[in-house]
Amino acid sequence: MSPLAAWQDAFAAGLRGAEHPLAAHPAFAVYRNTVWKGWIDALEANYPAIAALTGSDWTRAAAAAFAEIHAPSCPMLSLYGEGFADFLVEFPPAGLLPFLPDIARLDRGWTEAHLAADVPVLGFGSLAELDAGAMERTRCRLHPSARFAWFETTIPTLWLANRTDFEGGELLLDDRPEGLLLARPAESVEALVLDAAAFAFLDASRSGATLLDCAIAALATDPRAELGSLLGRLIGFGAFTDFIPIEPEPPHVPA
Amino acid sequence: MNHDLTAGLGLKPIHYQEALAASAGGLWFEVHPENYMADGGPRLTWLERMGARRPLSFHGVALSLAADADPDRGHLARLKDLVDRFKPALVSEHLAWSAWRGAYHPDLLPFPRTRQALTRIAANVHRAQDALGRPIAVENPSHYMPIDGHDWDEIDFLSELVRRTGCSLLLDVNNVFVSANNLRFSAEAYLDAFPGEHVAEIHLAGHAEDPDLGRALLIDSHSAPVADRVWALYERLVARIGPRPTLIERDDDIPAFAELMAERDRAHAVLTTCSRGVAA
């Protein structure tokens, strides 16, 4: 190893608390503090609902523990913290707040939606252009900003309350399953609480299913689902970018 | 002077609307390109709008030129995409390292200015300039503690880097003031010896005293107005080397836009007064 590389290894280890003559200088703390403050500030900023629910001190302590294991690999610190939700699952101080990892997943979803590619959303006109047989030959492409998940409790409602001007109050978590869709159809990220049928439709779209199979998935989840209004709601929200025609699969020819 | 750039400001999201509406002559805006390395989103849209009205400067913090490693290819490619898209009037980086063995450290870290370091940094500057298709300016860092093992004095090191790579220099006057205080050398002597003909940009910022060590350790915090003694150094520098695009940097305790514009106008006045002097 070159002398410069060895020097940088020692300095970087000192930033993480290792003992070294360099790190013993009182001014070394300026570097250590700046680096850790940068990491922790970024995580606190990227997980605002966690900070709203647990307070700044708790969040910064959790962020420091996360940063010890996962320093950012990318200098765009708005993207730092992928994996924070999974980290919280194993983080003993979060044990009393078992909903935190799901809250963190939604904070992360917001970040990803916020920074996703700018692509026009699907308009209602495209829906009118579909002919009768198109349901089984077409699939909807999700907008690159679309992030959605299903929860067994009202995590979405709790998260929404903590991303707005929520001032404490009662905990809005109960045992009613709920989904949430986040997307950025224009400049700002929007949220839509999902019922089971809408989530099933989106989930099928994500796996590349045709419109027909998406509809079947929604109806299998809730036979009373009204498909027209469901699809209208999702298109109006900006969940999709376009309809993609699918070529029928060629008949299988045995070798 | 580079085009019609006089004094500029760091572009802060909270000041976006006022910055867009500002009408001052010679005004330009600087950003850290790392904050715009996303696939999309409102920040890029804002920067497009600003870029249509004002010259932009890209001041990178993550190329990690002084690391004993090649600049990260993905990072360099993203930087090139941004440079191609926004065509900034100025592109700069630091004589420091921040990315090391896959981890990004949000700071500008020191190193011993050895012959090996110079060879490595010159190669990294070459790589960056080749990838971007344009020269970059390299900034003198702030120093907090003595480092053993220097083969080169900082000004000689920077001059040699210019000679080997064709890069230019970004001279941060506050960094010189802070370093001179912390390492006990003369800021005036440093600035008087700095190769003015290679200075493409000047930075001015505020600093703070260390909470524990006080005046003995000044921190380049960008959290206060530019200090009077730094203004005096700046005026002395501009009188010697002539006007250069000058940035007021502020990253913490950000005041009202008008307050930053007042500092920016002061730098603008120094630059334009000096230009008139040169012309007369």
Write the DSSP string, B246-270.
EEEE--SS---HHHHHHHHHHHHHH
Contact in structure between B153 and B183 (CB atoms under 8 Å): no
**Would you tell me how many other CB atoms lie within 10 Å of the CB of residue B189?**
11
Assess if residue A102 is contained within a domain.
Answer: no
> According to the model, what pLDDT value does residue A170 have?
54
Assess if residue A110 is contained within a domain.
Answer: no
> According to the model, what pLDDT value does residue A88 have?
98
Q: How far is B105 from chain A (nearest CA, A)?
A: 6
- Whether residues A145 and A56 fall in one domain: no
Residue type, A126: S
Integer Cα distance of B88 and B44 in angstroms: 14
Q: Is A170 exposed, middle or buried (0-12, 13-18, 19+ CB in 10 A)?
A: exposed
Residues in Cβ contact with B276 at an 8 Å cutoff, skipping those fewer than 6 apart? none
Q: Is A78 on the interface with B (CB under 8 A)?
A: yes
Distance from the Cα of residue B210 to its chain's centroid: 22
Q: Is B97 on the interface with A (CB under 8 A)?
A: yes
The architecture (CATH level 2) of B7-279 comes to Alpha-Beta Barrel (3.20)
pLDDT(A167) > 90:
no
Q: Which residues of chain B have pLDDT under 50?
A: 1-2, 279-280
> According to the model, what pLDDT value does residue B279 have?
43
Q: Where are the beta strands (DSSP E) in A126-235?
A: 138-142, 147-151, 178-183, 190-194
User: Which residues in B lie closer than 8 A to residue A188 (C-beta atoms)?
Assistant: 42
Q: Which two tokens stand for residue B204?
A: 């001015």
How many domains, in total, are found in chain A? 2
Integer Cα distance of B44 and A103 in angstroms: 27
- A21-56: per-residue pLDDT in tens? 899 999 999 999 999 999 999 999 999 999 999 999
Integer Cα distance of B17 and B23 in angstroms: 12
Q: Which of A60, A62, A18 is nearest to A41 (CA)?
A: A60
**Would you tell me how many other CB atoms lie within 10 Å of the CB of residue A167?**
6
- Whether residues A49 and A125 fall in one domain: no
Q: Is B104 on the interface with A (CB under 8 A)?
A: yes
Q: Of the candidates B75, B110, B114, which has its C-beta nearest A3's C-beta?
A: B114
User: Which residues in B lie closer than 8 A to residue A184 (C-beta atoms)?
Assistant: 41
pLDDT band at A134 (very low <50, low <70, confident <90, very high): confident
**Would you tell me how many other CB atoms lie within 10 Å of the CB of residue A183?**
25
What count of residues does chain A have?
A: 255
Q: Is B112 on the interface with A (CB under 8 A)?
A: yes
User: Which residues in B lie closer than 8 A to residue A116 (C-beta atoms)?
Assistant: 38-41
Mutate to test the interface with A, among B32, B46, B47, B107 (most CBs of A within 10 A): B107
Domains of chain B, by residue range, sit at 7-279
Q: Which of B223, A48, B221 is nearest to A63 (CA)?
A: A48
Q: Is A24 on the interface with B (CB under 8 A)?
A: no
- Whether residues A145 and A229 fall in one domain: yes
- Higher pLDDT among residues B46 and A252, named by residue: B46
Integer Cα distance of B265 and B278 in angstroms: 20
Contact flag B112-A4 (C-beta cutoff 8 Å): yes
Residue type, B48: E
Average pLDDT value over all residues in chain A: 93
User: Which residues in A lie closer than 8 A to residue B101 (C-beta atoms)?
Assistant: 9, 12
Beta-carbon pairs below 8 A across chains A and B? 118
Integer Cα distance of A245 and A203 in angstroms: 19
> According to the model, what pLDDT value does residue B1 have?
46
Q: Which two tokens stand for residue A155?
A: 């995590």
Percent of chain A whose pLDDT exceeds 70: 95
Q: Of the candidates B107, B114, B219, which has its C-beta nearest A4's C-beta?
A: B114
Q: Which structural domain, as residue segments, surrounds residue A168?
A: 116-255
Q: Which two tokens stand for residue A1?
A: 């190893």
User: Which residues in B lie closer than 8 A to residue A44 (C-beta atoms)?
Assistant: none
Contact in structure between A30 and B217 (CB atoms under 8 Å): yes
Contact in structure between A75 and A66 (CB atoms under 8 Å): no
Assess if residue A106 is contained within a domain.
Answer: no
- Whether residues A78 and A189 fall in one domain: no
User: Which residues in A lie closer than 8 A to residue B68 (C-beta atoms)?
Assistant: 2, 4-5, 8
Among the residue ranges A90-104, A154-168, B258-272, the one predicted with the least confidence is A154-168
**Last residue in a domain, options A62, A96, A130:** A96
Assess if residue A109 is contained within a domain.
Answer: no
- Residue B142: DSSP 8-state: P
Assess if residue A228 is contained within a domain.
Answer: yes
Helices (H), A145-210: 155-162, 196-206
Considering A121-125, A135-139, B22-26, the range whose residues carry the highest mean pLDDT is: B22-26
Q: Of the candidates B39, B75, B100, which has its C-beta nearest A8's C-beta?
A: B100
- Higher pLDDT among residues A248 and A43, named by residue: A43
Dihedral over Cα of A187, A182, A103, A177: its sign: positive
- Residue A217: DSSP 8-state: H
